[in-house]
Structure 1
Amino acid sequence: MLDAVGVALGQEPADSRIAIAYSGGLDSTVLLDAAVRVAGAARCVAFHVHHGLSANADRWLAHCDQHATALGVSFAARHVDVRRDPGVSLEAAAREARYRALDVLCDSAGVRRIWLAQHADDQAETVLLQLLRGAGLAGLAAMAPEHRPVGAAVTRVRPLLHILRAQLEDYARVRDLHWIDDESNADTRFARNALRHHVLPQLAVHFPGFRDALARTAAHAGAAQRLVDELARLDMKAAASEDGHTLSRDALVACDDERALNLLRYWMRALGLPAASTARLTDALRQLRDVRDDHGLRVDHAGQALRSYRGQIYWEAGDSGDAADETALTERPVTALKWRGESVWRLPAWRGTFVFTEVTAGDAGAAHPTAIPAALLMGQPLFARARSGGERMRCDAHGPSRTLKNLFQQRGVPSWKRDVPLLFVGDVLLFVPLLGVNLTALDALHADHAKHRTQRANAAGAAAERWIRIDWREDLLIA
């Protein structure tokens, strides 16, 4: 055990912190104990994820905190809300939530590698499950001693991958370790538990070397997956936008089916989306090849929808709705705010937030020519209103006023993204998400501000000299 941890420690950068995913169960308790013995407590940090799925979750959190403190190890925890999308199992949803939480904890601690306690039996179970589900290479690759998923910032390290569960039990017994038992591990309604309790013992009798054989299968699949990922990276360079959030529809459909499906899978992993079934991806590719009307394309998956606009395809929040234009406007109640310097204004009805950022006076005149005097925002109530049709604004300093519909079209904003709140100062349209500040209104407000600057300064105090930039941020974005 200590030898395996020592090998993993040798792969770590000198003097780096050793982050360990610590659930409090047998496996992670052994890993934490061995890491402390090899690397020293001062170098280790234990991360715990509270899923809230068990009535004992609070007790487990307390146990982990106390045990880490007793070892002299830094400890941090994060609560998660496990939400299941249609067709996603509770196990898969909890796993994804756990990895996301661990990534956040790593980021907070400034570490880019985390040790996980999966062992040889875990790997065998995973390969068998993936085989029974008809998984592809990515599924069969299962677990690797060291792996960083596409698009992730944190590398997952598994020092115990060649250690048997029985060896972990022996180590824990000799060291007199104490751990918690998750009652759900005995529930054979879960596929993994059924394999663990009913299938693996029989395999051990008739095929004693099955764990090593399945580990070799995983290694072969992993090598093959790296090759197809490299092909996908080449295709991404030709098809993806600079930020990777959109793909060229023409470039994708120019590929043969297998290569196009490989690119779609790789792109989705890079965006942090869960894997889709072959049937779902095949349907998406069929629509991309056959549907001529951009608005006719929609493939739903894991709370997201694949859409197309002006030759680009991308994923949108699945509940973002269809075309929001003069022909299909959504009515919403007007929301008001008496602004007093708030940095954010949350608008749940639009699933987004107005963000107010202070800039210096020098920046306001140069780098941020659309910055607004804070006194103007304080002078009258702010209103967030839905579009009613026919609104106009000027985005170009030397251009004419145009309808929002024309400006959205000019900027290539898909119709289903045009359902945004319009920000008014009193009765004046000041800001439109995805378009920016209404320069006509800004010029008038600046003129009024200059005319009454003394009065406004006296009324608003120091705020008269502050300048504010307004932005809009959607709540539901692909990571």
Structure 2
Amino acid sequence: MTSDNDTPTSRLVLDAVRAAVSDANLPDDSLLAVALSGGLDSTVLLDATVRCFGASRVIALHIHHGLSPNANAWAAHCDAFAASLEVRFAARHVDVARAGGESLEAAARDARYRALDDLCDEQHARALLIAHHADDQAETVLLQLLRGAGVAGLAAMAPVRADGSLPRLRPLLHLLRAQLEQYAHERDLSWIDDESNADTRYSRNALRHDVLPVLAVHFPGFRDALARTASHAASAQRLLDDLARIDFDEARHREEEGALQLETLLALDDERALNLLRFWIRSRGLQAASTARIADMLRQLRDAAIARDGHALRIDHAGFSLRVYRNALFWEPGDSADAPDTDEGASAPKAPCELQWQGEEVWRVPQWRGSFVFELVDSPADDVIGEGVLRAAPLVARSRAGGERMRVAAEAPSRTLKNLFQERGVPAWKRDVPLLFSGESLLFVPLLGVNREAAPSAAHGPLRRITWRPDLLLA
């Protein structure tokens, strides 16, 4: 709550917190999560949020990275501070794993935000409040400028993330660190100092300690100027995203969900094509690609189109591969290290797996990282068989050996799996699936269906529909 004795600085902080939450249009009883590191900024934010909305509407979330020998003490400090405000407290340990070329700062930041989002979900928080301030924003814009970032990078930190996911609010983004220090002293708050903040081997710390003080002498208003730069860049990025949505709607593949039509993409000039690729990568939840990397993707796509060799194209990025098949451009999980050994899509043979079926609903086949699902159904259909077929002989999951044939309908001719896959437009790298045999008879092929030579359409007794589900689709 506010008081008549509040100083102008205190009122600035409290008004900023109230305005940010009000602008988010949350229900009046929404639980507000505050990311609490124990440092000055988050300490001020938690105190101010409790004063504005009451302790019952606030929960403090702390992420334990384990990167400092003092991490346990910091967690204990945060717990005690939250308790002093009568605020609920939740913490989570995270392991910071760096991908190739990723800085420790970036890896820790990504791990922290993932953990905070998970905690918000567990605690049913409706918004996450983060304590970044104007000095942080200035540092971010300068870092992005020095890295040669585009407008998305220069937009730096948004006051609110409103993309349909959990809102992240930054109420203090227009306040200076000096103002937060004054608030903390007036409120007699105590906070911790992360010793790594003094290590100028980290680029952000080098800017903070060696560059910004000099800028402040010669350009006293640099923070406001950089904040305006971020705002202008954010506006420009919104326009670029609007254009990308128009191009995406035109280029999206009508049959392959999440894919683009290669010809439509390549019909755009380079700038629009690159903008669409950036938007598409971001919308798929993938790590952003550098300017050089995304330009190389477009070059390879144009070269492959000219050479009519798109099927062989594989561009690895962030644990995925960009692939082309019949004018469909899409991302496949896994990179070249997981690639099949042959163009036909068959990797090294896997050991067979056997089941004496006794009514199981799900049979997991770990070698292929997936499961066969046997769904009970009421009426016959093209993809349905009788339980008697499943019980007649042991079910065996086997790798493709080559030359296998099947009938997709009782009256259809026997065809090779290769021909059927091609006819149905299944890319070669998607064909490494387990074949389901009943004894020595091929019974079912994922992506193709039931072999009617082994299971005639006419069936008696209970009926089952067989489907193949990769592990990621079972949850």
TM over 0.5: yes
Indicate how the Cα distance of structure 1 residues 393 and 104 shifts in structure 2: closer, same or farther if over 3 A, else same. Answer: farther
**Equivalent residue, structure 2, for 1:321:** 339
2:263 and 2:125 mapped to 1: Cα distance? 40
Query: Which amino acid in 1 is paired with 2:221?
Result: G
Matched letter for residue 471 of structure 1: W
Distance in 1, Cα, partners of 2:49 & 2:410: 62
Q: Distance in 1 between matches of 2:159 and 2:236?
A: 16
In structure 2, how many angstroms separate the alpha carbons of the residues matched to 1:211 and 1:28?
A: 20
Q: Residue 31 of structure 2 contacts residue 126 of structure 2 at CA under 8 Å; is this kept in 1?
A: no
Q: 1:196 to 1:218 in 2, by over 3 A?
A: same
| Alignment equivalent of 1:353, drawn from 363, 370, 373 | 370
Range moving further from structure 2, 263-272 or 169-178: 169-178
The residue correspondences of 1:113-128 to structure 2 (distance < 5 A) are 113-128=127-142
> Which residue, 104, 107, 115 being the options, matches 1:90?
104
- Counterparts of 1:382 and 1:66, CA distance in 2: 59
Compared CA separation, residues 71 and 289, structure 1 to 2 (3 A): same
1:23 counterpart residue number: 37
Tell me the CA shift for residue 212 of structure 1: 0.6
Contact 2:301/2:310 (8 A) holds in 1: no
Q: Which whole-Å CA distance do the structure 2 matches of 1:42 and 1:312 have between them?
A: 52
1:381-400 → structure 2 map (5 Å cutoff): 383-396=396-409, 399-400=412-413
Judge which range, 293-302 or 119-128, deviates more. 293-302
Query: For 1:245-394, what aligned pairs fall within 5 Å after superposition?
Result: 245-291=258-304, 292-316=308-332, 317-318=334-335, 319-322=337-340, 324=342, 326=344, 329-336=347-354, 341=360, 345=364, 347=366, 349-350=367-368, 352-354=369-371, 356=373, 361=376, 363-365=377-379, 370=384, 373=387, 383-394=396-407
- 5+ long unaligned stretches in structure 2: 1-12
Tell me: CA distance 1:94–1:476, structure 2 relative to 1, closer, same or farther (3 Å): farther
Deviations, residues 258-283 of structure 1 (Å, cap 9, x unaligned): 11101001111101112211111111
Q: TM-score, normalised by structure 2?
A: 0.83
- TM-superposed CA distance for 1:53, in Å, is 3.7
The CA deviation at 1:399 is 3.8
* Correspondence for 1:471 among 457, 468, 472: 468
Deviates more, 1:324-333 or 1:185-194: 324-333
Aligned partners of 2:32 and 2:281: how far apart in 1? 30
Q: Distance in 1 between matches of 2:402 and 2:74?
A: 55
Alpha-carbon RMSD across the aligned residues, in angstroms, is 3.4
Counterpart in the other structure of 2:59: 45
User: Taking structure 1 as the reference length, what is the TM-score of the superposition?
Assistant: 0.82
What's the counterpart of residue 198 of structure 1? 210
The alpha-carbon deviation at position 52 of structure 1 amounts to 4.2
Whole-angstrom distance in 1 between the partners of 2:286 and 2:244: 16
Residue aligned with 2:50, SS: helix
Secondary structure of the equivalent of 2:468? strand
TM-fit CA distance, 1:35? 1.2
2:227 corresponding residue in structure 1: 215
Deviation at residue 333 of structure 1 after TM alignment: 2.7
Contact 2:159/2:171 (8 A) holds in 1 = yes
In 2, distance between residues paired with 1:404 and 1:228?
A: 45
Partner residue of 1:177 out of 189, 193, 199 = 189
Amino acid in structure 2 at the alignment position of 1:406: N
Q: Which residue of 2 aligns with 1:227?
A: 239
Q: Secondary structure at the match of 1:365?
A: coil
Residues 156 and 415 from structure 1, CA distance in 2 versus in 1: closer, same or farther, beyond 3 angstroms?
same
Report if aligned partners of 1:354, 1:472 keep a CA contact under 8 Å in 2.
Answer: yes
Distance change (3 Å), C-alpha of 1:87 and 1:432: farther
Contact kept, 8 Å, 1:324 with 1:417, in 2: the verdict is no
Number of the residue aligned with 2:48: 34
Compared CA separation, residues 103 and 367, structure 1 to 2 (3 A) = farther
With 253-262 and 29-38 compared, the bigger mean Cα shift is at 29-38
Deviation of 1:33 (Å): 2.0
User: Alignment length, in residue pairs?
Assistant: 453
Is residue 144 of structure 2 the alignment partner of residue 144 of structure 1? no
Indicate the larger mover: 6-15 or 208-217.
6-15
* Residues 320 and 431 of structure 1: CA distance in aligned 2, closer, same or farther (over 3 Å): farther
Partner of 1:411: 424
Query: 1:394, 1:333 → 2: CA distance?
Result: 26
Deviation at 1:123, TM superposition (A): 0.5
Q: Is 1:239 matched with 2:251?
A: yes
| Percent identity of equivalent pairs | 59
Residue segments in structure 1 that go unaligned for 5+ positions in a row: 451-464
Aligned with residue 10 of structure 1, among 16, 22, 45: 22
Tell me if the contact between 1:329 and 1:419 (Cα under 8 Å) persists in the aligned partners.
Answer: yes
Q: Determine the C-alpha separation between the residues in 2 that align with 1:76 and 1:273.
A: 29
Once the two structures are TM-superposed, the CA of residue 355 in structure 1 deviates from its matched residue by 6.0
